[in-house]
Chains A and B, each alone.
Chain A
């Protein structure tokens, strides 16, 4: 064949064609690989994004709370009358779970089974939201003055609920192992854990049958993290004390 003088524009056209070909080939391949899962991926991405957003907002909220606290302290220093209010305020915050707590208490560790479920229901081998509720209830019954699960402090509006294969507390997803820290009278806490039928069934029965991990530790100093979420009570109004 004779030497052909190809025009630059034609060659450029071919380069673009090549890019188009490989890009659409790549896109199709990815589409086939992910297929209907791509929607799931999208949802997961948005969940992760929202969680990051929430974390950022929580940090902001903590900063603002600290700022408010500073103002309160300064005001208290200026005017002696406010001191008693400030003290009361501190006490209320401690009780509401807005401050970190430290003190003696009990740590209950619950974790999914290490055994592999073969033919049985795999749900039997993991820790569920209701298992956590059993433990928390028993601890509160034992007079726990603050409860913290994996860094999430329980307050009056906290829910412990199931969210897929994780547990959601204070709109944060937690996964096994769950460390439940409760500050309070150690002996009473332990006694209530041992006397709670539901918890005993979990720690003696299910734990042994399915290999769930249930561990109870007495610790002389526990540290609970403060509640970091929002506190806006939109519908509730305080009533005057009679």
Chain B
């Protein structure tokens, strides 16, 4: 399970580096993290469906995280703070869909399914 190993390495790196984030940017980072989470699970799903595409994954990963943070920023600037719910809902829903798809793939695979 290399992705899991990568995740653990990343968490360890983050805890080790302790990058200081000013409190005002914590919200941006949080939403960006949610977008990254969605992209990562999307990547697993695509891999399991054998449709994984490097370019698609990398561009999606970065554009989603940056867009998510940008939406929060725009909301703050325009005085429409709830705008960041849009990012949370969009990425949240996709996250659940991706996880659901991954689960389905697992149950349909030879090892889990066929009772």
Binding stretch for chain B, among A23-31, A53-61, A63-71: A23-31
Cβ contact within 8 Å between B15 and A22: yes
CA A134 – CA B13 in complex, angstroms? 59
Name the distance in Å between A20's Cβ and chain B's nearest Cβ: 4
* Interface size counted on chain A using CB atoms at 8 A: 28
Cβ contact within 8 Å between B3 and A14: yes
CA A17 – CA B11 in complex, angstroms? 8
* Interface size counted on chain B using CB atoms at 8 A: 42
Q: Interface readout for A21-49 with B: 1 if CB under 8 Å, 0 if not?
A: 11111111011001000100000000000
Q: Interface readout for B50-81 with A: 1 if CB under 8 Å, 0 if not?
A: 00101001100100010000000000000000
Q: Which of A181-238 contact B (CB under 8 A)?
A: none
Residue of B nearest to A27 (CB): B21
Cβ contact within 8 Å between B7 and A17: yes
**A1 / chain B contacts, CB cutoff of 8 Å:** 109, 111
Q: Is A12 an interface residue (CB 8 A)?
A: yes
- A13-B58 contact in complex given A20-B33, A24-B30, C-beta closer than 8 Å: yes
Q: Is B37 an interface residue (CB 8 A)?
A: yes
CA A6 – CA B50 in complex, angstroms? 10
Name the distance in Å between A228's Cβ and chain B's nearest Cβ: 35
Q: Is A15 an interface residue (CB 8 A)?
A: yes
The residue from A4, A10, A23 contacting B29, defined by CB atoms under 8 A apart? A23
Q: Which residues of B contact A (CB under 8 A)?
A: 2-15, 17-21, 23, 25-26, 29-30, 32-33, 36-37, 39-40, 43-44, 47-48, 52, 54, 57-58, 61, 65, 109, 111
A-B contact pairs, 9 of them (CB 8 A): A4-B47, A7-B52, A10-B43, A10-B47, A17-B33, A19-B17, A20-B29, A20-B33, A27-B21
